[in-house]
Amino acid sequence: MDRHRVALRLRGGAGRILLFGLPLAYFGLFFAYPVGSILGRGLWPGGDLDLSPVGDVFGRDDLRGVLWFTVWQAAVSTLLTLVLAMPAAYVIARYRFRGRTLARALMTVPFVLPSVLVASAFRALGFEESLLAVLLAHAFFNYAVVVRVVGGLWTHLDPRQEEAARVLGAGPLRAFMQVTLPALRPAIAAAASIVYLFSFTSIGVILILGGSRRATLETEIYRYSFNLLDLRTGAALSIVQLLAVIALLTVMWWFGRRHCAALSLASANEITRRPTTRADRTIVAVVLASTAIFLAVPLMVLVVRSFDTPDGLGLDFYRGLGDVHAGSVLFVSPLEAIRNSVLYALATVGIAVVVGGAAAFAIARSRLGAALDLALALPLGVSAVTVGFGFLISFDEGILDLRASWAIVPIAHALIAIPFVVFVVVPVLQSVDPRMRQAAAVLGASPRAVWREIDLPIASRGMLVAAGFAFAVSLGEFGATAFVSVARPDSPTLPVVIFRLLGTQGAENFGVAMAAGAILMILATAAVLAIERVRVGEVGTF
């Protein structure tokens, strides 16, 4: 018996090493190495460390202004997103109504669209380059984060505490402010951190809607590293951004760990109710109508513009998808780009599910999982310019020469998709009753058999949901792809082609870009709807 237990511990230890080793090896090779390479070339130009460019970021008036604008526009974007999306989070969390699943899915569509397409939708709506356009586009893009993260907790928040406050004489507003809002604080903080992170590192929205007078750290990293080839300044800006992201993720993790333990939670079926009263029906109708106006109108305008040809409504722009700028070395047929995007997305799913799945099992079953979770989330906040440019200068020789390989795109996409796999799968694994594993072990099952017979079947639904998110995220990824695709200009993704078309003068190019965007929107919507069909209950809600 003792020998058997020792063998079980050894096999279990080997399994944990594999679960930790695979994501750490992927993270180290395809994130830490290229990012370190680009930072090293900027800060170790002659073999000696030179941190003076980092000081210049805070010493130069122009760069200090860029840093300040990046910080405060992200803060205002976050506040605006919370104000606009909290009512929708409440309605989705508390009410059961026909079309609820569809409404939640459609609210998620803007989040998985490429930032260039979101910005293009606002341009098609008539917005010029302005701060207002940037803020609204960020709120549009991140709306689903608040609905899903805050709504995910609100769905399980026991309403009897607020009802008790009402019985004791508190009004609706006072009961919400003193009972419900403090309970929602962890989810609000998590959602705000994610929205702030995405707004802080936004590039597509700033490039298209911000104009030359509104630069952020991300756009300046792009300008100095790629346009001016000033790697020292680009690396310094990347370090400042990286430190800010690490600080934000650390505070987010600490806050969540500190405030989640004392919550009174219940089953979603016990909490959600049908809107039976007139007041309930009015709240649901008003919130859904305002949400539809804010989220659907820009996308509907985009679709309408795709049919609005110089000769009237027609399919000319869609026919132009196959031959726009035929013969040019710069432009690739949007139809070919659609095929590239789908193939890249499928490859991304394979990588993200394997690596992210291993990380999810490691995080859910180890005390060291929090550190791995934090590390894997870094690619979401690190400059896409730094990652993409790092790929180009790092993987250029020997067996690591990936610049001309098709695999370089899904490898880069997987860095963004893996955190979403972890976000979805870890809560599913943590919901498994540990007594099931203990009973199987007592009956003689090895750690591998316990994993195969208990954890894996339960996690399979979460894995399917995660695969759907990975597919959708890959379809819409633009930041790193814009730079990685430089090595493969003949095989761009659809967001890159849309950006190229938008950067070229001519009504035909704009119209074809709108047509390509409409197709991308349909693909993203199909992926999100598939996620909702696969998801059981609240499995896969992030």
Q: Domains of the chain (ranges plus CATH)?
A: 1-40+316-542 (1.10.3720.10), 57-306 (1.10.3720.10)
Read off the pLDDT band of 297 (50, 70, 90).
confident
Q: Can you spell out the DSSP letters for 434-503? A: HHHHHHHHHTT--HHHHIIIIIHHHHHHHHHHHHHHHHHHHHH--HHHHHHTTS-TTS--HHHHHHHHHT
Report pLDDT digits (tens) over 452-480.
666 667 667 677 777 887 888 888 787 77
**Global pTM exceeds 0.85:** no
Range 247-260 burial, b when 16+ CB lie within 10 A, else e: ebbeebbeeeeebe
149 three-state secondary structure: helix
pLDDT score recorded for residue 258:
57
User: Could you tell me which residue, 401 or 308, shows the higher pLDDT?
Assistant: 308
Instruction: Give the span between the Cα atoms of 480 and 477, in whole angstroms.
Output: 7
pLDDT score recorded for residue 447:
67
Least trusted range by pLDDT, from 36-50, 96-110, 437-451: 437-451
Report pLDDT digits (tens) over 371-381.
777 778 778 77
Report pLDDT digits (tens) over 238-272.
888 878 877 777 776 666 555 554 445 555 566 67
- Contact between 39 and 235 under an 8 Å Cβ cutoff? The reply is yes
pLDDT score recorded for residue 331:
60
Residue whose C-alpha is closest to residue 72's, from 3, 134, 151, 127:
134
172 three-state secondary structure: helix
313, containing H or E segment: strand 312-313
Instruction: Give the span between the Cα atoms of 483 and 468, in whole angstroms.
Output: 25
Report pLDDT digits (tens) over 120-167.
788 778 888 888 999 999 999 899 888 887 877 777 666 666 666 666
Triad 390, 395, 399: Cα angle to 5°: 165
Residue whose C-alpha is closest to residue 528's, from 468, 459, 475:
468
User: Could you tell me which residue, 190 or 168, shows the higher pLDDT?
Assistant: 190
| Average confidence score pLDDT of the chain | 77
- 202: phi then psi, degrees, rounded to nearest 5: -65, 140
Decide if pLDDT at 516 tops 80: yes
Residue whose C-alpha is closest to residue 404's, from 468, 300, 484:
484
178 three-state secondary structure: helix
